[in-house]
Chains A and B, each alone.
Chain A
Amino acid sequence: MAGKGRGFQVFSNVILTILCFCTVMPFVLLVSSSLTSDATIAVYGYSFFPRQIDTTAYRYLFLSGSKILKAYGMTFLVTGIGTTLNICCTMAMGYLLSKKDLPGRAFLSFFIFFTMLFNGGMIPSYIVWSQLIKVSDTIAGLIFPNLMLSAFNVILMRTYFTTNIPNELCEAAEMDSDTQVGILFHISIPLSKPMLATLTLFSALAYWNDWINGLYYLVRKKDLYTIQNVLNSMQNNIQFLRDFSSASSLGGFAGSIPTLSVRMAIAVISIVPILAIYPFFQQYFVRGIVIGGVKG
């Protein structure tokens, strides 16, 4: 690790700085275009520094756009509930499977692993959730389908428990007549913070960025749309106009599509919370992934 070469230090720093610049640059473009009027973009194109700061888009969102604010609230709500459920299930399953002497352990592991390889596809999945479980047109439609449990996360969790919780600790607790559930809450969870933080971030991102569930399950209750659904719906409407622009009668609709800067502004507010929260998780991230990623 500790190479002496000063040259290598410089080299590493330069390369990483360039890479960081590349990752951040597009977001600067996004913010900049949300602060530029459409007329300016039409003339000068997208640019990194707004020629003239124009906050119309944001005023439009926060003054008249109660719909946008509501969608924003929905995103928070769904992410909160969904992530909580996800983490509880993942933890319970991961912990169960981490018990090496568990009857049926191999079978249960494969039962979980198999779901990573096979799926029934869009329509069957839709039929199960909408007709058997009836989540359509409720907030449950945003929370349950597809996102509530990921086999991958369960495997990460299991691996973390098996490799990071010393067996002796559990045995000692058993001696103290602590129950298995008690051990989970008193020993395993407190010792698994990095992994839990990592999985919380994974799950929260999946919920925050999802637009499929809203599109499929909220057909008759679009006032429950999340911010990603709003963004996606606008994009779809624009593509529709592009594909069917031949229909002259559609011309009247152009006024219903929010302007470019408004769309960019919605995009900006959709990522702000993530960027704000993420550094707090980030400190656990490296430790969480490390051991989880490698098989134990």
Chain B
Amino acid sequence: MKTKNKHAGKKLYKYRFLYLLALPGFVYLIINNYMPMVGLVLAFKNYSFAKGMLHSPWCGIHNFTYLFNSKWAKIMFRNTIGYNLLFLVLGNIFAIFVAILLGEIRSERAKKTYQTLILIPHLVSTVLIGYLVFAFLSYKNGFINMSLLEPLGKEPVNWYTEPKYWPFILTLVQMWRSFGFQSIVYFATIIGFDKSYYEAAVVDGATTWQQISRITLPLLRPTVIILVIMALGRMFASDFGLFYQVPMNTGTLYSATTTIDTFVYRAMMQDHDVGRSLAAGFLQSILGFVVVTIANSVVRKIEPESALY
């Protein structure tokens, strides 16, 4: 025991400068991530601006009971989980598909061009995506109404008043902006595979399809698992910009666009209701944590190599 401690002490000394170098990063995490967690107590308080965070009166779980009594609880959980599952499934299937296609392209120049172009949507802000979507969907001037539906003799559609279109629109926008990046992640994995598998397969006379289904897909499994676990951790989070700025915070669309994040923001900024806003945020964090822990332990049982921690 004593020698072990001594050993550790020696290691500590050996890495002393590395600890020092990394110290600012840890201090930053404490300030930026850990200290605000104290604020989660506000979820159990009736926040008063006059009294501040610490002196506001407690209100037990009232903030939570309200949340579940309102119709928004159902809607925001349904939307958050629903969209995330949709994005997860569609996104990964599509990304793997594109990655495999990319891997098959023989011309290096074409390959590079495709990679460059499909990543572009990943580079721009959600504010800007909101501008782009509006250019397409604006009732009066939008590209779809003016240049697609009108020449076809169809009635223009009031996109920003019909919630029923928005699950498709949001999914489409999300796919558009994220498929490139996800594809590159998979593609990067694919080109790292041992070439000898494929060479052997070719010798055995395997078709392209057989190579994909027998070699590429099984080899991708660990990557898929990691990406899915990470996505599960964010199952209760949503991209605020996608659900707030892209639909331009329009009241009629709330039933299709309210996620936990937009609810939290609106409860805060429109109703000035810090307690309830935080109750929703608190639930979001807790649930995300639980889900990822469960997913990880399941994976650890089935396939220990792929577990995240």
Answer whether A and B are interacting partners: yes
Q: Tell me the count of chain A residues lying within 8 A, CB to CB, of chain B.
A: 102
**A11–B130 CA distance with the chains assembled, in angstroms:** 33
Partner of B29, one of A12, A111, A179: A111
Residues of chain B in range 264-309 having any CB-CB distance to chain A below 8 Å: 264-265, 268, 274, 277-278, 281-282, 285, 288-289, 292, 306, 308-309
Q: Is the CB of B143 within 8 A of A232?
A: no
Given contacts A92-B24, A113-B309, contact A124 B17 (CB under 8 A): no
Q: Is the CB of B42 within 8 A of A3?
A: no
Given contacts A3-B208, A271-B128, contact A121 B36 (CB under 8 A): yes
Chain B interface size band reads 35 or more
**A258–B264 CA distance with the chains assembled, in angstroms:** 31
Q: Mark B129-147, 1 if CB is under 8 A from A, else 0.
A: 0111001101011110111
* A172 interface contact, C-beta 8 A: no
* B202 interface contact, C-beta 8 A: yes
Q: Mark A226-246, 1 if CB is under 8 A from B, else 0.
A: 001001100100010000000
Q: Is the CB of B188 within 8 A of A293?
A: yes
Q: Is the CB of A270 within 8 A of B128?
A: yes
Total A-B pairs, Cβ < 8 A: 301
Q: Is the CB of B32 within 8 A of A267?
A: no
Q: How far is the CB of B305 from chain A (nearest CB, A)?
A: 8
Q: Mark B219-233, 1 if CB is under 8 A from A, else 0.
A: 000110011000001
* A103 interface contact, C-beta 8 A: yes
Q: Is the CB of A121 within 8 A of B101?
A: no
Q: Is the CB of B113 within 8 A of A123?
A: no
Please give, as numbers and ranges, the residues of chain B lying within 8 Å of A24 by CB-CB distance.
Answer: 117, 120
Given contacts A19-B118, A181-B17, A294-B189, contact A46 B142 (CB under 8 A): yes
Question: Of the 9-residue stretches A52-60, A66-74, A76-84, A272-280, which lies at the interface with chain B?
Answer: A272-280
* B72 interface contact, C-beta 8 A: no
Question: Of the 9-residue stretches B57-65, B76-84, B102-110, B163-171, which lies at the interface with chain A?
Answer: B102-110
Q: Is the CB of A132 within 8 A of B18?
A: no
Q: Is the CB of B143 within 8 A of A46?
A: yes
* B37 interface contact, C-beta 8 A: yes
Please give, as numbers and ranges, the residues of chain B lying within 8 Å of A253 by CB-CB distance.
Answer: none
Q: Is the CB of B289 within 8 A of A115?
A: no
Q: Is the CB of B12 within 8 A of A103?
A: yes
* B38 interface contact, C-beta 8 A: yes
Please give, as numbers and ranges, the residues of chain A lying within 8 Å of B14 by CB-CB distance.
Answer: 180
Q: Is the CB of B18 within 8 A of A4?
A: no
Q: Which residue of A lies closest to B47 (CB)?
A: A123
Q: Which residue of B lies closest to A229 (CB)?
A: B127
Q: How far is the CB of B7 from chain A (nearest CB, A)?
A: 9
Please give, as numbers and ranges, the residues of chain A lying within 8 Å of B130 by CB-CB distance.
Answer: 235
**A24–B138 CA distance with the chains assembled, in angstroms:** 20
**A2–B203 CA distance with the chains assembled, in angstroms:** 11
Q: Is the CB of A2 within 8 A of B17?
A: no
Partner of B37, one of A17, A99, A120: A120
* A122 interface contact, C-beta 8 A: yes
Q: How far is the CB of A95 from chain B (nearest CB, A)?
A: 7
Q: Mark B57-100, 1 if CB is under 8 A from A, else 0.
A: 00000000000000000000000000000000000000000100
Q: How far is the CB of A2 from chain B (nearest CB, A)?
A: 6
Q: Is the CB of B124 within 8 A of A271?
A: yes
Please give, as numbers and ranges, the residues of chain B lying within 8 Å of A146 by CB-CB distance.
Answer: 32
* B217 interface contact, C-beta 8 A: no
Q: Mark A201-244, 1 if CB is under 8 A from B, else 0.
A: 00001001111000000000000000010011001000100000
Q: Is the CB of B128 within 8 A of A120?
A: no
Residues of chain A in range 122-151 having any CB-CB distance to chain B below 8 Å: 122-125, 127-129, 132-133, 144-146, 148-149, 151
Q: How far is the CB of A108 from chain B (nearest CB, A)?
A: 8
Partner of B36, one of A22, A128, A282: A128
Partner of A110, one of B37, B112, B136, B309: B309
* A259 interface contact, C-beta 8 A: no
Q: How far is the CB of B65 from chain A (nearest CB, A)?
A: 19
Please give, as numbers and ranges, the residues of chain A lying within 8 Å of B42 by CB-CB distance.
Answer: 123-124
The 7 closest A-B pairs by CB, nearest first: A124-B39, A120-B36, A3-B208, A45-B146, A290-B188, A209-B125, A124-B36
20 A-B pairs with C-beta separation under 8 A: A9-B104, A12-B101, A12-B104, A27-B120, A46-B142, A47-B143, A89-B24, A92-B22, A93-B26, A103-B8, A108-B26, A113-B309, A120-B39, A121-B39, A121-B264, A123-B277, A124-B38, A180-B15, A270-B125, A286-B184
Residues of B at the A interface (CB closer than 8 Å) are 8, 11-12, 14-15, 17-19, 21-22, 24-26, 28-29, 31-40, 42, 53, 98, 101-106, 110, 112-128, 130-132, 135-136, 138, 140-143, 145-147, 176, 179-180, 184-185, 187-189, 191-192, 195, 198, 202, 207-208, 211, 222-223, 226-227, 233, 245, 248-249, 264-265, 268, 274, 277-278, 281-282, 285, 288-289, 292, 306, 308-309
